[in-house]
Amino acid sequence: MTTEKFLAYDRQLVIEELEKIQKTKFLPYKSGKKLYIDEKGMVYYVFGGTGDWHGITETNLKELDGYSREGAFVIAKKFRSRIDLCVGSLSQLIANFRKLSSTKQKGKQFHTTVTEDGMFIEEAPDIYLNKVGEIKVPDSQDLHRLEQISRIINIEVDSKKNITHADLQAKLILIGSYLGYRTYTPDQSKQSIYGNLGELCSENEFPESAIPSMHIDSARFIDVIWFDDEGFPTHGFEVEHTTDITKGLLRLYQVHKLRIKMFIVAEESNRSRFLREVKKNPFHSVQEEYIFKNYDELDSFFEGVKEFTVKQKSFFTK
């Protein structure tokens, strides 16, 4: 389940927020889809999207050709729970049109890089947009998916069946999804007692946008990983059912600089082995960041979520 597209409704939210900030009304300017003019005659070029790529049409290039007054260049970047508003100089953008990449449709395109307080254009780094506002996206949680997860969690399974590595991964995926995290496993095709792991996950492909490139190849092979709304990894789980704990520790160690919570999930009988291994190189420097959980602790957490789904449904049902 990926982030939604930037919709007409989102654009309307952005325009309304800009009107509040500027204390004026906006009207479409010329072609009107991205260009607006306020009551004072100031022009706004408003881009919106969930990614870092934006395009300028040939029509807009012609409409802005020769425009010499100051205006505002706005990028509204949509995440799952919010839309960030970043504003720069329209005249500066126009002056740098030639630096932007050309498209086959005779337009231009550019890419942005997000910073702590705004963003800049990669093709023209001198163009900087300051973050001026943030819009909360109403009710961003996918209630239909929550209901679907609730049904899966409450499937009656054979307790006598030998639990598999995939079954344990499925529980971690379902817990994470129900708690509102984006979830991913590299084992997309594996089957568990709760269903296909790829279908249980919210993400079919590994989210890369918020992760430094040097860590992507390491992170994508962690057994189960949870992400926040913006795609930054928050929790990593290595399930050591029949495999060597050291291998799981090493996979997590390779991404420890992301400040991710690192979990080893294994039989209680493996706890002493875990405690010995984390004291060795290279793990000892971050040994306090590793967390060991046994199967009973995972089951207890899973049953707690399962019980909550029943209570939640009961509370919200007439």
Higher pLDDT, residue 110 or 310: 110
Cα radius of gyration rounded to whole Å, the chain: 24
Q: Is the pLDDT of residue 96 over 60?
A: yes
The span from the CA of 62 to the CA of 64, in Å, is 5
- In 3D space, the residue among 69, 63, 52 whose CA is nearest the CA of residue 111 turns out to be 52
Higher pLDDT, residue 300 or 180: 300
The span from the CA of 131 to the CA of 117, in Å, is 5
pLDDT band at residue 171 under the 50/70/90 scheme: very high
The pTM for the full model equals 0.58
CATH 1.10.760 assigned to 8-136: no
**pLDDT score of 77:** 94
- Cβ neighbours of residue 285 under 8 Å, at least 6 residues apart? none
**pLDDT score of 69:** 84
Both ends of the chain: CA-CA distance in Å?
30
**pLDDT score of 95:** 92
Tell me the longest C-alpha to C-alpha distance in the chain.
76
What's the token pair of residue 240?
């050591």
What separation in angstroms does the CA of 143 have from each of 9, 146, 151, 198?
Answer: 19, 5, 12, 20
Tens-digit pLDDT profile for residues 266-280:
999 999 999 999 999
**pLDDT score of 38:** 94
- Over range 237-264, report the average pLDDT: 91
Domain residue spans of the chain: 8-136, 143-316
The reply to whether omega before 282 is within 30° of 0 (cis) is yes
**pLDDT score of 160:** 61
Q: Which helix (H) or strand (E) holds 252?
A: helix 245-253
Q: Is the pLDDT of residue 59 over 60?
A: yes
Tens-digit pLDDT profile for residues 185-237:
999 999 999 999 999 998 988 988 778 888 888 899 999 999 987 788 999 99
